[in-house]
Structure 1
């Protein structure tokens, strides 16, 4: 028998991919192809930005419960334990925070320490800690930049607003993410 050369992170990613396929992510339409293709690109972008393993796994799984911008959930939030079993508690917690965001209520003050974060599932507000805020901002940037890279109409419509958002939350972003935001979202010179 050959030794297992995979890492725990590789194993979690494989479990996540299996669950994504079981839930039909490879057949769900999404800008740039399928939802699964999008999720993999977000995970890859986070890896390029040197994100830690839990955040990369969350990138791969960020749409499991749907989002404020993509309502098609693969799993209801009542089944969080299934995703947690696949990717671990830390990564699942990031996925849940991301999915629960009421963007209209949260985005305006997201960059301000201590600003409330409104949960779209419960309607309640809470204040995530600094690491959770950084994870949320980094995952948000990776997600939106994937869409902006692939869809010029999306970039034309939302690019300026997204650049303003990521400029406000710049202290929460890694240097790599901020550079990518400026590169992808900055308006072309006249």
Structure 2
């Protein structure tokens, strides 16, 4: 595959998302495309490497445990990899495949069990992929908490508890924003 810049890959990913209807798919705070772009921007602001930023833009391509809309079926993973690169696509798959209820309790543990909701398999990812997963999860949930006060009111305390457990996997920037967005008094942002 030829080398490409993050900006080129982002532009191609946005074009594919538009083609697949993400600009018309309802999502808290507007459309799915708007949400995905905000998640990418948040990861960039935290200094995430390009592959993780691209994964943030594309994290919902296969649907997620919390958002069942899947713009691209799993049998077309190679198409997404062509657009954003194999490393970013593998992060997208990891994020989309997570059975959250089964995985979240031990994700920060060295011997964490990661449950793949697509295959039913259980594995123990290395530290790097677990860090990517945690960072992307924080960017995703913080976007929802910032854009939707009702979401924050309902889930803020639970998310703060989750990210407190995942603290060893989060960058300092992500952890700082988790504390600010999820622990603050409503109306003080």
Q: Using structure 2 for the length normalisation, give the TM-score.
A: 0.95
Residue segments in structure 1 that go unaligned for 5+ positions in a row: 1-6
Distance 2:48 2:111 in 1: 23
Distance 1:68 1:106 in 2: 11
Equivalent of 1:130 in 127, 132, 138: 127
Question: 1:59, 1:139 within 8 Å by CA — same for their partners in 2?
Answer: yes
Distance 1:25 1:48 in 2: 23
Question: 1:160, 1:187 within 8 Å by CA — same for their partners in 2?
Answer: no
Residue segments in structure 2 that go unaligned for 5+ positions in a row: none
Task: Name the residue aligned to 2:15.
Answer: 18
Deviation per residue, 1:21-70 (Å, 9 max, x gap):
11010000000000000000000000000000000000000000000000
Q: How does 1:9-88 map to 2 (within 5 A)?
A: 9-88=6-85
Question: Which aligned runs of 4 or more in structure 1 are off by greater than 2 angstroms?
Answer: none
Distance 1:89 1:172 in 2: 22
Deviation per residue, 1:94-114 (Å, 9 max, x gap):
000000000010011111111
Quote how far apart the aligned CAs of 1:74 are.
0.4
Equivalent of 1:115 in 112, 116, 119: 112
Distance 2:112 2:125 in 1: 9
Deviation per residue, 1:119-173 (Å, 9 max, x gap):
0001110111110000000000000000000111101111011000000010100
Q: Using structure 1 for the length normalisation, give the TM-score.
A: 0.95
| 2:111 partner SS | coil
